[in-house]
Copies of this chain bind each other. A is one copy, B any other.
């Protein structure tokens, strides 16, 4: 099922057959300081990041013992490009850097191009310059989105969990992600720029061509009023999701510490149905992933379809 795009291994082919893969543990190049410090002390090159902490860059050899050659591997490189049509397409400096330096694509490599507006194209690298890569667009790829929409209503978790929530929601096809302040939520979201970087990286990994909408809402009532029904609110120990039909649904996931009883009552009064994901307490990102998958799985199932 789930190919990760990392680590990249050259133009299109997968080097797993060689039994060796190199992984760079530290992204910053550092050198041993020739005249400073005690034995074994390390210092960064002047003017580069990493200086202060003296981090060492190492390359670790990961040997895949006993793994046979796998032939053609389905790890796909994806980049963003604003204007896409048949013919040559020049990438932005950021995307060129990602393609050539991060993913190490070479001339002739097959890639997929996301135009950010819902279209995907197959393409081939024509010029692999790290500042200005050029692709030859071959044609559109047909990968239809699900015929229904899922909105998420999430009480703001801590920043690291927020990033995970955005990653999971993006890969699972959530249309709109509403972060809401509740009695037990955090109040600080990562910056929009950071969230956009997270989403773009996730779109590259999962191949979804459209960005989800991310909103920050200060009141639960307002968030509920913007969310389509049927709605499901995650409550530990509640019954599993019941089948639903229609074009769109909403899943509400509570904060660390859970919803207050009053919040659950307000959500239920607005038409939300409590739904459980087993008897155990899930972290917010896992509850988002499991809840979104469960709600999607029961669409059209059973007597309510």
Question: Which A residues form the contact surface with B (CB < 8 A)?
Answer: 1-4, 6, 14, 16, 37, 40-41, 52-56, 62, 64-68, 70-71, 73-76, 143-146, 157-158, 161, 167-168, 171-173, 181, 183-188, 205-208, 218, 233-237, 240-241, 243, 253-260, 277-284, 286-287, 289-299, 301-302, 305
Looking at A184, A237, A240, the one whose CB has the most chain B CB atoms below 10 A away is A184
Given contacts A279-B146, A280-B171, A290-B172, whether A187 and B66 have CB atoms under 8 Å apart is yes
Query: B240 near A168 (CB under 8 angstroms)?
Result: no
22 CB-based A-B contacts, threshold 8 Å = A1-B258, A1-B282, A2-B234, A2-B284, A2-B287, A3-B255, A4-B161, A4-B284, A16-B184, A62-B186, A64-B186, A66-B181, A66-B187, A70-B184, A143-B279, A173-B280, A205-B283, A206-B282, A240-B297, A277-B293, A293-B294, A293-B297
Query: Chain B residue with minimal CB distance to A66?
Result: B187
Query: Chain B residue with minimal CB distance to A241?
Result: B297
Query: A53 near B54 (CB under 8 angstroms)?
Result: yes
Determine the distance from Cα of A37 to Cα of B297 in the docked complex, in whole angstroms.
60
Nearest CB of B to A131, in Å: 29
How many copies the complex holds: the figure is: 2
Q: Which secondary structure dominates chain A's binding surface?
A: loop
Determine the distance from Cα of A260 to Cα of B14 in the docked complex, in whole angstroms.
13
Nearest CB of B to A170, in Å: 9
Contacts of A188 in B (CB 8 A): 62, 64-65
Query: B146 near A187 (CB under 8 angstroms)?
Result: no
Query: Chain B residue with minimal CB distance to A144?
Result: B279
Tell which of B4, B68, B71, B185 touches A283, judged by Cβ atoms closer than 8 Å: B4
Query: B171 near A2 (CB under 8 angstroms)?
Result: no
